[in-house]
Structure 1
Amino acid sequence: MSSALLENRICLITGSSRGIGLGVARVFAENGASVILHGRDENVLR
């Protein structure tokens, strides 16, 4: 994925405490996006 696509973007990722949501959140953050996490397990999201 090109970093330019996500730079200066704000992304809300649901289901981000595990699985695909967690993977997507990591990739987006690594590519310059500001990521807002949402999931059922608050302790995992920290």
Structure 2
Amino acid sequence: MFAVTGATRGLGYATAEALVADGAKVVVTGREQVSADAAAARLGAGAVGVGGDNADPGL
């Protein structure tokens, strides 16, 4: 299991995409839950989205 921060677009998304392609389970994080869920849906069953600010200790 991997958690990829900033994975809703760009390099973070590409990293998550490569991990899922290799069979890993990935937690996609982004500031907005909607964006994280959308990215996870594009990645498929190997991904789940979590929205929130990574600087927040309660995340």
The reply to whether TM is greater than 0.5 is yes
Q: Which has the higher contact order (CA 8 A, sep 6+)?
A: 1
Structure 1 runs not aligned, ≥5 long: 1-9
Kindly, what percent of the aligned residue pairs are identical?
Answer: 30
Report the TM-score, using the length of structure 1 for normalisation. Answer: 0.69
Distance in 1 between the 2:19 and 2:33 partners? 20
Aligned residues, how many? Answer: 37
Report the TM-score, using the length of structure 2 for normalisation. Answer: 0.56
CA-to-partner distance for each residue in 1:1-46, whole Å, 9 max, x for gaps? Answer: xxxxxxxxx0000000111000000000010100001012322322
Structure 2 runs not aligned, ≥5 long: 38-59
Structure 1 segments, 4+ long, off by >4 Å, are none
